[in-house]
């Protein structure tokens, strides 16, 4: 074989296998806890401010995204996402974290090229795919 493949084979024997089941359970419960918090916020907004369900869910989404941005700014969202895995990255909080961390990282390059440009690079794919999916579903959904 080659030197590289021999090295990979030797190193693989000493690497521990990741705990897939434990990671899946942590992601499930962490994502569920975030969703439960967002649903509680939506119910609270609906009851407290007599908001429609749509308005209440929009406010809850904004609060969850804002919470993720604040946690990203103080450096705690990375710790949470390291623990929660996909449970923290697949929601609106993950998108907010990606956009905020890109803005924070590139703020030294200026507002236009640094902050705005990198925010669009980080979140652009998710936003475009979301818009395309919403458009397609809007065409086929009765």
Q: At 43, is the secondary structure helix, strand, or coil?
A: helix
Average confidence (pLDDT) over 118-134: 82
Q: At 74, is the secondary structure helix, strand, or coil?
A: coil
* Model pLDDT, residue 77: 92
Q: Residue 72 burial by CB count (10 A; 0-12/13-18/19+): exposed, middle or buried?
A: buried
| Token couple for 114 | 């640094």
- Please state, in angstroms and rounded to a whole number, the distance separating the CA atoms of residues 85 and 74: 19
* Model pLDDT, residue 1: 58
Give buried/exposed letters for 37-71 (b at 16+ CB in 10 A, else e): ebeebbeebbeeeebeeeebbebbbebbbebbbeb
- Please state, in angstroms and rounded to a whole number, the distance separating the CA atoms of residues 60 and 38: 6
Residue-wise pLDDT tens digits, 72-106: 999 999 999 999 988 888 888 988 888 888 888 77
* Highest mean pLDDT of the ranges 51-65, 109-123, 124-138: 51-65
């Amino acid at each position: 074989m080659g030197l590289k493949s021999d090295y990979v084979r030797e190193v693989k024997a000493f690497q521990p296998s990741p705990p897939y089941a434990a990671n899946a359970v942590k992601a499930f419960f962490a994502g569920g806890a975030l969703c439960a918090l967002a649903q509680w916020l939506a119910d609270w907004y609906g009851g407290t401010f007599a908001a429609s369900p749509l308005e209440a869910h929009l406010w809850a989404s904004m609060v969850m995204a804002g919470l993720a941005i604040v946690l990203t700014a103080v450096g705690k969202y990375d710790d949470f996402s390291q623990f929660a895995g996909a449970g923290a990255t697949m929601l609106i909080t993950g998108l907010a974290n990606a956009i905020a961390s890109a803005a924070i990282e590139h703020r030294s390059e200026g507002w236009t090229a640094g902050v705005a440009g990198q925010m669009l690079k980080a979140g652009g794919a998710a936003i475009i795919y979301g818009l395309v999916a919403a458009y397609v579903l809007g065409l086929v959904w009765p």
